[in-house]
Amino acid sequence: MSAEENKAIFLRFVDEIRNGNLGVIDEVCSANFTYYSPSDPDWPRGLEGARKLVTRVTSADLQPTIEDIFAEGDKVAVRWTFRGTYSGEPKPGYIPGERFAAAAISIYRFANGKIEEDWGVDGLWNTGIPWHNGS
């Protein structure tokens, strides 16, 4: 598949998830799906891991926005902004109930038209970023 085809598959995946079609996970993610993130080193592999990752985003008060998307070869890179309300345990810089914006970068590797790997760089959380729509 071409880089542009992989990008189109990824954008369809995001659109379907936003519309509540979690069944798209089985269509778009590989049975060998692997999520790599420094903050989650023991993430489960396969479709179970893909479902868990999607559920984490869809079950929280998060509004993801794709800021940039690039495709080359078998990879699609996305720069995201996530906005929401922090609901975890209190810790320095993280106050339950406080609005936040978070930056993240993900690189997706495709194999045979499916997402095989998700390399995530997250943890760039900053509750000091203003809550706005990018304007």
Is position 14 within any domain?
Answer: yes
- The whole-number pLDDT of residue 83 equals 85
Is position 132 within any domain?
Answer: no
- For the stretch 74-85, pLDDT in tens is 999 999 988 888
Q: Report the DSSP pairing between strands 29-36 and 114-126.
A: parallel
Contacts 24+ apart (CB under 8 A), 54-59: 54/17, 54/22, 54/25, 55/22, 57/17, 57/82, 58/17, 58/22
Range of the structural domain that residue 78 is part of: 3-126
- The whole-number pLDDT of residue 133 equals 43
- For the stretch 22-42, pLDDT in tens is 999 999 999 999 999 887 889
Can you tell me the distance from the alpha carbon of 116 to that of 35, in angstroms, rounded to the nearest whole number?
Answer: 9
- Provide the number of structural domains found in the chain: 1
CATH code, domain carrying 11: 3.10.450.50
Is position 76 within any domain?
Answer: yes
- Regions in the chain scoring below 70 on pLDDT: 91-94, 122-135
- The whole-number pLDDT of residue 93 equals 63
Can you tell me the distance from the alpha carbon of 61 to that of 19, in angstroms, rounded to the nearest whole number?
Answer: 15
Is position 134 within any domain?
Answer: no
Is position 31 within any domain?
Answer: yes
